[in-house]
Structure 1
Amino acid sequence: MHKTLSTLFIGAASVCASFHLSAHEYMFTYSKLYSQMKSNASEGHDDVKIAFFFVNAQNKNLCPINKAWMEKEQHYERLKVSENHELLVPIDSNLRQANPLVFVDTPQELRCDFSMVVMTKQSLQGRVTANEMARILPQMQTLLEDLGGMFASWFTPEVKGLTFEFTDISSGEVVLSEGHSVPITNGKAQVLLSQLQGGYLTLPAETSRVLPYLPDAD
């Protein structure tokens, strides 16, 4: 059973857009996805990007993607999926004009929501300095405001830190150089730039995703 997602939107407070469909197969038009991810091709955010995932509606874990592809009449192209379950869609103006359909299959037994997020292009591990975080945060802010449209800067909450997500660990702590620590709960830890006090933090494992932290949106 196919469900068509005719519109995409950004929920600034949750840093993602989500829809619930009961079937395990999802269908999009390429042009709708392109309208959101085209910002990835613009300048000014070398360290961050817009990314597409599917999230378990019950526990909010990432859903695995069994298969993803594009098709238009007799043309067919398989899409890649990263190790952390990101749907990798090429940015191509010719594809936008052709506007193929994009299909995604997730496990039948899972109820998954489509999720669009702003995140770092690279995973992080080991030591992350205040200077590194200070470089990333305004890039995330710019992407969020670009996605929100002309007046987004008026209502988009300020990105004040980073949310670190881990696959290999569900609990523990992120240690700060000034002696404090931030707990990891359900595989996530949120750290404000101000907490580093110009120092650094140490991650206990490599991240699976690094997302904005918007404390004013909570």
Structure 2
Amino acid sequence: MRKATLTACALMASLLSVSANAEQYRFNYSKLYTQMKNNLEEGHPDVKVAFFFQENQSSNICHIEKAWMEKEEHYEEFSIPSSQELIVPIDSNLRKAAPLVYVDTEKGKLCDFSMVVMTKEPLQGKVSYDQIEALIPQMSKMLNDLGGMFSSWFAPDVIGLTLEFNDIQHGSISVSDGSIINIENGKAVVKLADLKKGNTLTLPQATFRVLPLLEK
């Protein structure tokens, strides 16, 4: 057994076995539901909780070979999008039934379970200051909802966004005031305080993920 890590709060995943084709992980659906139900709450219409698997050493996204849930004679396989997000149905009846969720990731890679807060839709083309500003309180609320009643007392503030790109390791984002934001290792850090009201960012491609940038 080994403990999996996640971005927003503590959750356990068990490495069951190394098969001929994949590494296999097992979860209790009710544990996942506890986090997923926050996607149904109000206050963050553009933001969601999402599940991924990331390589232990590099943090690259792991490929999901297969994912499904089962209990006794009941079985349902999940559809995995190209983003490799683990999308699990949110259903209170399933929580009562308490099936087990299984995930097979690619063979030979040790992957950690990762729960992130991210935008529901990618950012692309021209992105305004107002768009960025509107996302920050939504991400803060989602993180607070995940953390529980007193999390806002201790959680770091969300001060901007981290933009992740699939096909760009190094490059830049143009800002309408003539400045640039560097893309390093596929990520760009966008601090709201570094922008001026009315600024517009021109992205070189659609984002893979947009995550909160937390104050250190």
* TM-score, normalising length: structure 1: 0.90
- After superposition, residues 1-218 of structure 1 pair within 5 angstroms as 15=8, 23=18, 24-198=23-197, 199-214=199-214, 216-217=215-216
Alpha-carbon distance, 1:19 to partner? 6.3
Aligned equivalents of 1:139, 1:213: Cα separation in 2: 13
Aligned equivalents of 1:76, 1:4: Cα separation in 2: 26
Moved over 3 A (4+): 14-23
Alpha-carbon distance, 1:9 to partner? 8.2
Specify the code of the residue in structure 2 equivalent to 1:91.
I
Aligned equivalents of 2:81, 2:181: Cα separation in 1: 28
The verdict on how the C-alpha distance between 1:35 and 1:4 changes in structure 2, with shifts beyond 3 A counting, is farther
Aligned equivalents of 2:12, 2:31: Cα separation in 1: 14
| Partner SS, residue 160 of structure 1 | strand
| Partner SS, residue 71 of structure 1 | strand
Contact 1:15/1:212 (<8 A) preserved: no
The verdict on how the C-alpha distance between 1:95 and 1:4 changes in structure 2, with shifts beyond 3 A counting, is farther
The verdict on how the C-alpha distance between 1:177 and 1:41 changes in structure 2, with shifts beyond 3 A counting, is same
Alpha-carbon distance, 1:94 to partner? 0.5
Alpha-carbon distance, 1:80 to partner? 1.9
| Partner SS, residue 154 of structure 1 | helix
Cα deviation 1:98-157 (Å, max 9, x = unaligned): 010000000111110000000000011111111111111100000001111111000111
Specify the code of the residue in structure 2 equivalent to 1:201.
L
The verdict on how the C-alpha distance between 1:52 and 1:190 changes in structure 2, with shifts beyond 3 A counting, is same
* TM-score, normalising length: structure 2: 0.91
| Partner SS, residue 133 of structure 1 | helix
Alpha-carbon distance, 1:195 to partner? 1.9
The verdict on how the C-alpha distance between 1:158 and 1:65 changes in structure 2, with shifts beyond 3 A counting, is same
Alpha-carbon distance, 1:196 to partner? 2.0
Aligned equivalents of 2:143, 2:66: Cα separation in 1: 28
Structure 2 unaligned blocks of 5 or more: none
Aligned equivalents of 1:18, 1:39: Cα separation in 2: 15
Contact 2:27/2:102 (<8 A) preserved: yes
Structure 1 unaligned blocks of 5 or more: none
Count of matched residue positions in the alignment of Structure 1 and Structure 2:
209
Aligned equivalents of 2:10, 2:84: Cα separation in 1: 17
| Partner SS, residue 52 of structure 2 | strand
Cα deviation 1:38-86 (Å, max 9, x = unaligned): 0001111110000000001111110010000000100000012221110
Specify the code of the residue in structure 2 equivalent to 1:98.
A
Contact 1:18/1:113 (<8 A) preserved: no
